[in-house]
Amino acid sequence: MPSRRVVTGRSQEPRRRFAEELRLLRGARGESLRQVGERLGWDPSTFGKMESGESLGSPEIVEALDQHYGTPGLLLTLWELALADPSQFREQYRRYMVLEAEAVSLWHYAVSAPPGLLQTPGYAREALAAGGLLGTELNQQVEARRGRRKLLEGDKAPPFRVILSEAVLRTRLCDAEEWRAQLEHLAEASERPNIKLQVLPFCAGPHGLMNTAVKFLRQLDGTTVAYTENDVRGELIEESSRVEYLQRTYDAVRDLALSPAESLKFVTRMLEEAPCEPSI
């Protein structure tokens, strides 16, 4: 068994460290990717992508590898560090991701797409591909968004309030099955105790955030930062006066939105209207 470096939360490149450990362990066994795949029951290409850093795999695969290599918990720990690593996000989002992970409460307003924290992998893949991502980078960004969803899970998940413009629910994916899965996920998420989901219907009329998605993150020290996005740019805002102005605008939009109960009914109606994949 090759010697391994200590696993810590301060690893500078958790994704690379995870891939390296997989290669070391397989090399020490003298196994081929095909042999690993045959012994664990997964396609060998899955393990190849994990060893190259193109994919992180699933927790089920990682747990099976831990058992196979006799490293109980090691690979799963490395996988969790890699999944939560801010460096896998594009440079302009990295500081925001660090602040998001440390937030004690969050508020979002979404203009045309569900927030990343509530996106299914299928939605994330189609949306990111539409933005021009391909291949390895696309896979990495899809997994990064999947990893962000863990922030809202568990007993210690922070409070999260999101207002969805009706446009979010009207802009369907090309893949009808994945679109239904996304709507179902939104409906399920809205019933969690830490999540308040509201829909802003078109009939609410013009408002101060018509063209701007905004996110607020309340930090442990009591300060709040904001992140705004429009069609051409994103900006992290930490100046208190600007954050307060955006919060007042957000509150005004929230007053126009449907209640959480009415919003769940709205999402459910959209789910009933969503097309189904034709049977084959």
- The answer as to whether 159 is a domain residue is yes
User: In which band, very low, low, confident or very high, does the pLDDT at 90 lie, cut at 50, 70 and 90?
Assistant: low
Identify whether residues 54 and 130 lie together within a single domain. Answer: no
Q: Please tell me the total number of residues recorded for the chain in this structure.
A: 280
Confirm whether 278 is domain-assigned: no
- If asked whether residues 52 and 151 sit together in one domain, one would say no
Share the mean pLDDT of the chain: 86
Q: Does residue 278 surpass a pLDDT of 80?
A: no
Q: CA distances (Å), 262 to each of 77, 118, 229, 238, 267, in order?
A: 41, 19, 27, 33, 9
What's the total number of domains in the chain? 2
Query: Residue 117's domain is classified under what CATH number?
Result: 3.30.870
**145/71 same-domain check:** no
Residue-wise pLDDT for 145-159, tens only, equals: 887 888 898 888 999
Number of Cβ within 10 Å of residue 263's Cβ equals 24
pLDDT digits (tens, 9 = 90+) for 99-121: 888 899 999 999 999 999 999 99
Residues 138 and 209 in one domain: yes
Q: Is 5 a domain residue? A: no
Q: Give residue 145's pLDDT.
A: 81
- pTM (2 decimals)? 0.68
Pick from 41, 60, 83: which residue ends a domain?
83
Stronger pLDDT, 204 or 2, i.e. the higher one? 204
CATH number of the structural domain spanning residue 62: 1.10.260.40
Residue 200 and residue 163 in contact, taking contact as beta carbons nearer than 8 Å: yes
Of the three residues 37, 66, 83, the one that is the final residue of a domain is 83
Domain-located, residue 279: no
**Half-sphere exposure at residue 163, Cβ-oriented, CA atoms within 13 angstroms:** 26
Quick check: 1 pLDDT over 60? no
> Domain limits at 96?
92-273
Would you say residue 31 has pLDDT above 80?
A: yes
Q: Examine the pLDDT at 234 and tell me if it is beyond 50.
A: yes
Contacts by 150-157, CB closer than 8 A, 24 or more apart? 150/83, 150/84, 151/100, 151/101, 151/117, 152/117, 152/118, 152/189, 152/192, 152/194, 152/195, 157/192, 157/194
| Mean pLDDT for the stretch of residues 61-90 | 78
What residue type is assigned to position 154 of the chain? G
Q: Is residue 280 part of a domain?
A: no
Whether 211 contacts 231, CB under 8 Å: yes
Q: Tell which of 65, 83, 101 closes a domain.
A: 83
